[in-house]
Structure 1
Amino acid sequence: MKSALDQAEAVQGAAAAAVRLTPRRGRLLREMAKRYDLYLMLLLPIGWYLLFQYGPLYGLQIAFKNFSPAKGILASEWVGLDNFHRFFDSYYFNRLLWNTFTINLFSMLVAFPIPIALALICNEIPSRKFGKWLQNITFIPHFMSVVVIVGILNVFLSPETGPINALIEALGGQPIRFLEDASWFKPIFIGSNIWQNMGWQSIIYIAALSGVNPQLYEAAKMDGASRLRRVWHVSLPGIVPVIVIMLILDIGHFMDIGFEKILLMQNNLNIEASDVISTFVYTTGIQKGEYSYTAAIGLFNSVINLILLLLVNRFARKVSETSLW
């Protein structure tokens, strides 16, 4: 008798829940029908993510196998963590990890604040025309291909005909082979990245500054705050949530470096400083055909990125109450 009553109560509860959910579902369907054009626009990015981001996840299992193209993914021999052990024990592990870590760390320490500073400068320039001109000038390098950027570096830093070495010689110095010197690789790579991307990355901060309440500037001005004080106490706090979100997103790609530029700048003389995880995966996986080995390296790289993202997001939520989730 008791079980029958329990079943009746469960049925009544499920019916009540269905009644509560039906209006919500109906509102959602009406909203989707009303804004169908926006939802149709979502299909393209959703399809892209499903095809190129989630689809390849099926192939991650080759990181734990001795993959053979002739046998296919499922029929290849299972080797467990052997590919990971091989990478951790290899001669290249320390060098790859150190180069990847240092390039990204110094890129973040130096390159991350510069777009913020550029946005603040553009926002404070009295001449609107000059501010627009400065933005356009700093945007242009972003639209150049990596091949063009590296070509410009080769021309400017050439030991024979480059203007940089011509200036060094004019001052009584000896020409420097910048692109063949391992000690110069990281400063050149990071500096050229800053030049190429600072204008584009400043756009979101300029947009955020436009949303700061103008009355706050007026109140600070009436209180006698200088321009620098207004920037420090009004402009910067107004964009802190955006800065935190951008920092978290950058940390999520901390171990990722665009290997195209490094590959174009890399040579046998600077390989000690320029060999990073992404270039090693390309040369070993694509050129040498060691697919399982490099899949394990790529998975290791992604796991490190995920851990860093989770840690920084949690820290940001506790410190600033701003986070991705």
Structure 2
Amino acid sequence: MKAHRINKTGIPLSARPAMKEWRKNYDLYLLLLPAVAFFIVFSYIPMGGLIIAFKDFNIFEGVWGSDWAGLANFREMLSIPEFVQITRNTLVLNLLGLLICFPAPILLALMLNEVRSKYLKKVSQSLLYLPHFMSWIVLGGIVYAVLSPKYGVVNEILRWFGMDEIYFMADKTWWIITYTLSAVWQSAGWGTIIYLAAITAIDPSLYEAASIDGAGRIRKIVSVTLPSIMPTIIILFILAVGNMVSIGIEQPLALANSVVGDVSDVISTYVYRVGIKQGDFGLTTAVGMVQSVINLALIVTANHWAKKAGGEGLW
């Protein structure tokens, strides 16, 4: 084995460039510390709680005082009557989000980039960003009010055209459509920030060269804008694929009701109902652990195929 050369201070010579880099940019590393501390405290330390998945957890005995249960919680998870249903609902809603919600901010960013009026552009951006800062409880109330079969604006318009009202929130198919479109409404505007930032970093000379070649707006978007922001699109797509079996609890809780429970009950709502309300922490921790492992496998696979296809990955 090749030995490292040691200087008088006892520091290997191979480590000197790294130390020099640290001293040169120490202020930047200090700015990074809050983010590192955040993930350590709220992401890595809580991983120790995964041990509950292998225990017959008793809240009075604590994590270490509870008896070991082995893989009993995982076997119980697979025997849950609703397990297939909640997994299917989670995958369906996330797949629709990937097909519809993911392209939406890209299209919005491309359209906003073509707006020449600065005033109109700023007003449009503000209106598009606004839903992101509102709670899903508020947004859910707006959705229910707008789609109400008796007083809702949408059904009033349908009646005005001589059509029958639609019970959007009580019909399973219409509920899925409403769920997906409301997700677009809430998140698309905020997502455009990333793509607009990527678009502003494009070299203007590329557009000038395209204009000289006679390219119109559509051709510039296809040949210049989209290829330039493709690395950003790929990275965000990989992250989206990595959340295919995860779904936030806020939107399903805000929009769900007992009539559409067969399509609205997802993994997160099941964990809340069984884990928090019924106190079965061992089972729900096992469900969450399996969910995280699948997400990890998906993101690694998506990253591998993205790099194999010639694109850029997360690592």
TM range (shorter): over 0.9
Distance change (3 Å), C-alpha of 1:316 and 1:67: same
Query: What secondary structure does 2:163 align onto?
Result: coil
Aligned match of 2:139: 149
Counterpart of 1:179?
169
Tell me which of 269, 284, 287 is aligned to 1:297.
Answer: 287
What is the CA distance between 1:242 and its match in structure 2?
A: 0.7
Q: 2:54 aligns with which of 64, 80, 87?
A: 64
Are 1:89 and 2:79 an aligned pair? yes
Go from structure 1 to structure 2 and tell me whether the alpha carbon gap of 1:76 and 1:212 turns closer, same or farther (over 3 Å shift). Answer: same
Tell me the residue number matched to 1:240: 230
For 1:103-122, what aligned pairs fall within 5 Å after superposition?
Answer: 103-122=93-112
Q: How far, CA to CA, are the matches of 1:239 and 1:194 in structure 2?
A: 21
Match for residue 194 of structure 1 among 170, 175, 184: 184
In the other structure, the counterpart of 1:227 is: 217
Q: Aligned to 2:13, which of 20, 39, 43?
A: 20
Query: Residues of 2 paired with 1:122 and 1:170: CA distance?
Result: 33
1:206 aligned to which of 196, 201, 205 = 196
Q: CA deviation digits over 1:124-168, x for unaligned, max 9?
A: 223333222222221111111111101101111112211111122
After superposition, the Cα gap between the structure-2 partners of 1:64 and 1:224, relative to the gap in structure 1 and judged at 3 Å, is same
Q: C-alpha displacement at 1:302, in angstroms?
A: 0.6
1:264–1:226 CA distance, 2 compared to 1 (3 A)? same
Q: Deviations over 1:156-197 (max 9, x none)?
A: 111221111112222223322221222222111110110111
Q: How many Å separate the matches in 2 of 1:66 and 1:73?
A: 9
Q: In the alignment, does 2:301 pair up with 1:308?
A: no
CA displacement at 1:69 relative to structure 2 = 1.3
> Is the Cα contact below 8 Å between 2:235 and 2:312 reproduced in 1?
yes
CA distance in 1, matches of 2:247, 2:16: 48
| TM-score, normalised via structure 1 length | 0.91
In the other structure, the counterpart of 1:271 is 261
Question: How far is 1:41 from its partner?
Answer: 3.0
Secondary structure of 1:178's counterpart equals: coil
Segments of 5+ residues of structure 1 without an aligned counterpart are: 1-9
State how far apart, in whole Å, the 1-side matches of 2:113 and 2:255 are. 35
Q: Deviations over 1:39-78 (max 9, x none)?
A: 3332322222111111111110111111111222123222
Question: Which residue identity lines up with residue 188 of structure 2 in the other structure?
Answer: M
What corresponds to 1:132 in structure 2? 122
SS at match of 1:180: coil
After superposition, give the CA deviation of every residue in 1:91-111 in whole Å (9 maximum; x if it has no partner). 101111110000000111011
CA distance in 2, matches of 1:32, 1:322: 27
C-alpha distance 26-223 of structure 1, shift in aligned 2 (>3 A) = closer
Could you tell me how far 1:13 is from its partner in structure 2? Answer: 2.3
The 2-side partners of 1:200 and 1:23 are apart by 43
What is the Cα deviation at residue 25 of structure 1? 4.9
Q: For residue 142 of structure 1, what is the amino acid of its counterpart? A: H
Equivalent-residue separation in structure 1 for 2:5 and 2:116 (angstroms): 65
TM-score (norm 2): 0.94
Q: In the aligned structure 2, how far is the partner of 1:25 from the partner of 1:129?
A: 48
Shift of 1:32: 4.9
Question: 2: distance between equivalents of 1:187 and 1:155?
Answer: 16
- Which amino acid counterpart does residue 239 of structure 1 have in structure 2? I
For 1:120 and 1:28, locate their aligned partners in 2 and report how far apart those are by CA, in whole Å. Answer: 39
Of structures 1 and 2, the larger Rg is shown by: 1
Partner of 2:23: 30
Once structures 1 and 2 are overlaid, which stretch shifts more, 280-289 or 50-59? 50-59
